[in-house]
Amino acid sequence: MQFFTKKLSSDLYKNNVMEYKLNKIKFSPRNELILPEYGRNIQQMVEHAVAIEDRAERTRCANTIINIMGSMFPYLRDVEGFKFKLWDHLAIMSKFKLDIDYPFEIIKKEDVLQRPSKMAYSTKKFHYLHYGSIIEKFIDKTGEVENEEVKNALIMMIANYMKKSLLEWNNKNIDIDDKKIFNDLYELSKGKISLNTDDLKLISSDNLRQKNKNNNKNNSNNNNNRRRRRSKKSSND
């Protein structure tokens, strides 16, 4: 009983000490990083430069900061416009309060705060969702091909792609009848492309399904290899 009493007293003492330490800690919230990729030290340098009263000294300080910022990304030094970008970033981090003689024309504050224009979204309705709009554009373009041999090859490529898309959409072990593809192609081309199952045969459903599996496997292997290379590179750095 005495043992448990001592242990309880010890635990209470530790809790009281911890609570006392937490109450003593004064959390000082830091300013939000404007451009996190440069880190807090660079931002503090910029804030220091803004506070310098002498204009010439302030300009020299800004040039030093630019050199440090450039050394953080040495692989971008030869990229066109990199120097311009650094001065823009310096102005942005200073909230455009850094009054110096900039060597280049910097970005304007209103351009940074301006909201991008709304992107136009296509409202065109698809005849078949599983084929998508790209295949319909391809079908329209076939009418512009003058060479009959090239045109026929293009039509066969489109038909096989349509069959492949239909297989992926259904996601079942079913056989797609070529006649179904030819009828859809005839409809999408507005009667301009007419194919006959007696004369033409598309790639079989089994072969297309196997190609999809191989492509997925290759993509998975490539992704894994990229992850290994990135992991190896980061460990070396």
Query: For 57-88, how does the pLDDT look when each residue is reduced to its tens digit (9 = 90+)?
Result: 999 999 999 999 999 988 887 888 888 999 99
Q: Which amino acid would we find at residue 21?
A: K
The pLDDT assigned to 68 comes to 93
Give the total number of structural domains in the chain.
2
Q: Is residue 175 part of a domain?
A: yes
Judge if 97 and 41 occupy the same domain. yes
The pLDDT assigned to 213 comes to 66
Question: pLDDT by residue (tens digit) across 135-165?
Answer: 888 888 887 888 888 888 888 898 888 888 8
* Cβ(171)–Cβ(211) below 8 Å: no
Contacts of 84 (CB under 8 A, 6+ apart): 104
Judge if 165 and 138 occupy the same domain. yes
Contacts of 24 (CB under 8 A, 6+ apart): none
Residue 55 pLDDT > 80: yes
- The rounded distance, in Å, linking the Cα atoms of 134 and 194 is 20
Q: Is residue 15 part of a domain?
A: no
Q: Which amino acid would we find at residue 111?
A: D
Q: Is residue 225 part of a domain?
A: no
* Domain, as residue range, for 41: 36-113
Q: Is residue 235 part of a domain?
A: no
* Cβ(45)–Cβ(65) below 8 Å: yes
Phi then psi dihedrals of residue 117, to 5 deg: -65, 150
Q: What is the mean pLDDT of residues 180-192?
A: 87
The pLDDT assigned to 114 comes to 76
178-188 vs 148-170: helix crossing angle, rounded to 10: 120
The pLDDT assigned to 206 comes to 78
Q: Give the torsion sign (CA, 15, 18, 23, 29).
A: negative
Q: What is the DSSP string of 89-143?
A: HHHHHTTT---S--SSPPPPHHHHHSPPPPPP---PPPS-TTTHHHHHHHHHHHT
pTM: 0.43
Q: Is residue 136 part of a domain?
A: yes
- pLDDT category at 232 given cuts 50, 70, 90 is low
- Domain end residue (candidates: 86, 113, 140): 113
* Cβ(143)–Cβ(186) below 8 Å: no
Per the structure block, which two tokens stand in for 194? Answer: 């007419």
Q: Is residue 87 part of a domain?
A: yes
- Please identify which residue in the block is written with the tokens 């310098």: 52
205-236 vs 148-170: helix crossing angle, rounded to 10: 80
The pLDDT assigned to 50 comes to 93
Nearest to 135 by CA among 102, 172, 164: 164
CA 93 → CA 32, 48, 101, distances in Å?
A: 11, 12, 16
Taking phi over 0 as left and psi of -120 to 50 as alpha, with beta for the rest, 29 belongs to beta
Judge if 136 and 199 occupy the same domain. yes
